[in-house]
Amino acid sequence: MLNGSGVVIHTNLGRAPLPEPAIAAVAAAARGYANVELDLASGRRGTRDEHVRGLLCELTGAEDGIAVNNGAGAALLAVAAIGGGEGVAVSRGQLVEIGGGFRVPEVLAQAGVQLIEVGTTNRTHPADYELAIRERGVSAILRVHQSNFRMVGFTSQPDLGELADKMSGSTDCIWMLPPSMSGSWVRHMWRTSRIWPCARRSPIARSAT
pLDDT in tens, 1-57: 888 888 888 878 888 889 999 999 999 999 999 888 898 889 999 888 888 888 888
The CATH T-level fold of domain 69-208 is Aspartate Aminotransferase; domain 2 (3.40.640)
Q: Length of the chain in residues, anyone?
A: 209
List, for residues 87-146, the tens digit of each pLDDT value.
899 999 999 887 778 899 999 999 999 999 999 999 999 999 989 888 888 888 888 887
Q: Note the helical H segments in 116-184.
A: 126-136, 160-168
Under 8 Å between Cβ of 138 and 170: no
**CB 122 within 8 Å of CB 153:** yes
**So what's the pLDDT on residue 26?**
93
Give Dmax (Cα) for the chain. 61
Q: Could you tell me if 9 and 15 are in contact, meaning their C-beta atoms sit under 8 angstroms apart?
A: yes
pTM for the complete prediction?
0.70
Radius of gyration of the chain (CA): 19
Domain ranges across the chain: 1-67, 69-208
Percent of the chain with pLDDT over 70: 79
C-beta atoms surrounding 110 within 10 Å:
12
DSSP state of 97: E
